[in-house]
Structure 1
Amino acid sequence: MIKIALCEGIVSPVWTDRMATALDSEKAYFKQEMRWDRININCDGWIEKLEKYDAILWPPGCMGVKPSSHLKEKIFFIQNHMKKLIVPNYESTWHFESKVAQSYIFNFHKIPSPRTVATFSLNNAKSLLNNEEYPLVFKKSSDAASRGVRLVKNSMKAKYLAWKSLYTGLWWKAARRILHLDHKDNVVYWQEFIPKNECDLRITAIGRKWAFGFWRWNRPNDFRASGSGLIDYVKPIPENAINLCLDLNIKHNFDSMAYDIVFKEGNPVIVEICYTYVDKAIYNSPGHYERCDNGNLTYKMGKTWPQQLWVQWLAERLNNMGPLIKNI
């Protein structure tokens, strides 16, 4: 028998409840008999509670930098010290709430993305900004839904933002405390601006073969699409974008990943990635894509909760582990 722990107490119970429903509805995908229990890993003693389970399944959520850092520590511990199968895994989550960390992946692996700079040095930032082409898109390393994103049209404004983020003078630290100014990131992050994109494309890839896609139109008189709520499920989705995201899931061992995409000279360019997303936006898609064994994409009509495919992906991973799963 396979024993699965469904973690709760992390995000809204709605995500967890839908995952629980999926564990019951998708049982047929497990080759062995499966049993699952709800476990709260926010409480002391969570390690002992998880020891008897073969796999850990937990729902994602937008939790902020500090809370997510604690959760990522637990995921790393479960995966690398307890040697448990956990979905989503550490590979999917370690860069959550950090666009800077994502930029390391993009740059090192030569993933098509806007030219990006992340620097912790004020002098380095000033030097680079002298030679930039404007406008630039400045972003906070954390945050979502376009919060902390702005279009900067000249070097003077760009250098001011760099100074605001990186200057460490005592009087400036005191002023920030007195005036209750936003906590600074201690890093300055910007990307090239890619024009002629009236909308962006959100591809959500689950496992190695499933993907959902929809477009998000920009806000009125704005260049930002994330968080606009102007979702388009009708506009056709280019297959090369879907295949790019599925290939990245495979190469980087992502269990689930949402990709924000714009187009440069007709080619998909990934702006950001995030393992967590609003499940209702996925469910509202009229169907989803599935990659066949021969590499071709098929489109399956009908609404599907992402939790259903998460459970199917978990079953596939457990089935492939074979003798590692013991009969109890």
Structure 2
Amino acid sequence: MLAIHQRDNSYSAGWIRYCIENNISYKVVDCFSNDIVEQVKDCDAVLWHFHHGKRADMSAAPRVLRALEHSGVKVFPNRNTSWYFDDKAAQKYLFDALEIPSINTHVFYDVQSAKEWLDTAQYPLVFKSSSGAGSSGVKLVNTKKKASKQAKRSIVHGVSSLNKASIFRDVLSWSFFKNNTLKKYITTCALLILPRSFFQAPSNETGVAIFQEYIPDNDSDVRIIVIGDKAFGIRRFVRSNDFRASGSGKVSYDVSNISKETVRLSFLIADKLDSDCCAIDFIYSGDRPRVVEVSYGFSVDAYKNCAGYWNRDLVFVTDSVDPCGWMIENVRLG
């Protein structure tokens, strides 16, 4: 039996649908319950799509899932899939340790070290908060003065991964209206008005500043998702007069523009990470794919129009794409 923690706008609806369609025994559980360990004693695996933007999720999920994993229960996501989730500083060290071709990233924990490096850095640079998705908390800094100010603010006072100015620009864009529901529009607008605590958003991060090399001339990035022996992906175009692609809502499903080298590298990275589900963001330096970030979490709806997937022989198979079903099968076979 599978235990599924149910949450709106998560994998849980797809998991439950797949279980029903394939006569797989499951039950819905509340992973925040004090007796969650007792609740899942009759289960073979526990699945919880916890959200990076919810403070309660990010606090409880690692504790609950790691405890269950230690006891021998299969979990999704497992530790190798999720310990670096929504942590760009951790990902920098991970990419370095595993020699994964990635964007040059510099992490600082004190202001003086940051300023000494910024004295010799080449500009512009990309500043990032350690957490945050959809390009929130990402900005281009063009001068040493601005970068030093950003580093001090980040390390001493903290920065928010919820960038309201960026959200406001996205809401005004045509691509946002075109690619989102009325409910998503209203919820996003609420982020501009309601306090962060209403959304259980994480507190401002302090003590760390992250700068990445800026790679010019990229009008899009490529997101490849690897689940088991299948990979699928899209191109995401940058916002107007911007360099950021994630969260733009401007997407292409034409796989002819995604190189087999990018797909091959995606399988290699997923294997190195030993990940159950690996969403990898690439940009290009010339024709070389370089990793920007990785995550286990993504919006399933954004990929429902994918025409198929690549297998490990890098052959594209025209077929329906069912990420949630593939996750279930991997958990059951793993």
TM-score, normalisation: structure 1: 0.83
2:333 to 313, 316, 322: 316
Partner of residue 120, structure 1: 109
SS of residue in 2 equivalent to 1:92: helix
Q: Which amino acid aligns with 2:319?
A: G
SS of residue in 1 equivalent to 2:11: helix
Contact 1:26 1:308 in 2 (8 A): no
Same amino acid, percent of matched pairs: 29
Structure with max Cα Rg: 1
Q: Which amino acid aligns with 2:307?
A: P
Instruction: Trace 1:116-265 onto structure 2 (pairs within 5 A).
Output: 116-167=105-156, 183-207=204-228, 209-236=229-256, 237-265=258-286
Alpha-carbon distance between aligned partners in 1 of 2:89 and 2:55, rounded to the nearest angstrom: 13
SS of residue in 2 equivalent to 1:167: helix
> Shift of residue 147 of structure 1?
0.8
Alpha-carbon distance between aligned partners in 2 of 1:13 and 1:151, rounded to the nearest angstrom: 30
Unaligned runs of 5+ in 2: 158-194, 197-202
2:34 to 44, 51, 68: 44
1:302 to 319, 322, 325: 319
Alpha-carbon distance between aligned partners in 2 of 1:301 and 1:65, rounded to the nearest angstrom: 39
Partner of residue 176, structure 1: none
In the alignment, is residue 24 of structure 1 matched against residue 20 of structure 2? yes
Alpha-carbon distance between aligned partners in 2 of 1:258 and 1:216, rounded to the nearest angstrom: 13
> Shift of residue 129 of structure 1?
0.6
Question: Alpha carbons of 1:26 and 1:270: their partners in 2 closer, same or farther (altered >3 Å)?
Answer: farther
Q: Which amino acid aligns with 1:56?
A: V
Aligned residues: 290
2:88 to 82, 99, 103: 99
Instruction: Trace 1:267-278 onto structure 2 (pairs within 5 A).
Output: 267-278=288-299
1:15 to 11, 18, 23: 11
Alpha-carbon distance between aligned partners in 1 of 2:56 and 2:240, rounded to the nearest angstrom: 33
Q: Which amino acid aligns with 2:146?
A: K
Partner of residue 172, structure 1: none
Alpha-carbon distance between aligned partners in 2 of 1:57 and 1:218, rounded to the nearest angstrom: 33
Question: Alpha carbons of 1:268 and 1:311: their partners in 2 closer, same or farther (altered >3 Å)?
Answer: same
Q: Structure 1 residues 68-77 or 138-147, which shifts more? A: 68-77
Name the Cα RMSD after superposition: 2.0
TM-score, normalisation: structure 2: 0.82
Contact 2:81 2:277 in 1 (8 A): yes
Q: Which amino acid aligns with 2:5?
A: C
Unaligned runs of 5+ in 1: 28-33, 169-179, 318-328
Partner of residue 184, structure 2: none
Contact 2:98 2:272 in 1 (8 A): no
